[in-house]
Amino acid sequence: MTNEQLRKEIIEVAKKTGATDVNIVCGTLFCKFNNSIANTMSDNLKTVLQKFFDKKKPYDTLVKMSGALPDNEYAYDFMPVVDFRLNEYGI
C-alpha cells in the first residue's frame, strides 16, 4: 500500500464519521466538526481510526487525539507501537 492510498483511506474514514475540513499535515490528521456534539464525534473518530489500523495490522499503530483546538478542530497522530524488549522496534 502506498502512502497516498493510505492517506486517501484515512480521509475517507474521517469524512464518513462526520468530520469536515479534513487535512493531513506532516502525518497528523486535522478534522473539524460542525456539530454541537463535536466532542462525542471526535472520540468516535478516534475509535474508528484505531479499528481501521488494527484491521490492517493489529497492535502496530496507536491513534492519539489532541483537541479541542479552536473552531472544534481535533488532531489525530498515528504512533507506532514500540516494544522495548525488541530493542525499540515495533511489533
Q: Under a CB-based contact definition with an 8 Å cutoff, are residues 17 and 44 in contact?
A: yes
β-strand pairing of 73-80 with 28-32 = antiparallel
pTM over 0.85: no
Give me the domains of the chain, ranges plus CATH numbers. 3-90 (3.90.1070)
- The crossing angle, in degrees rounded to 10, of helices 38-56 and 3-16 is 140
Q: What are phi and psi of 4, to 5 degrees?
A: -65, -40
Q: What sign has the CA pseudo-torsion 5, 7, 13, 60?
A: positive
pLDDT tens column, 29-71: 999 998 778 888 999 999 999 999 999 988 889 999 997 888 8
Share of the chain above pLDDT 90, in %: 55
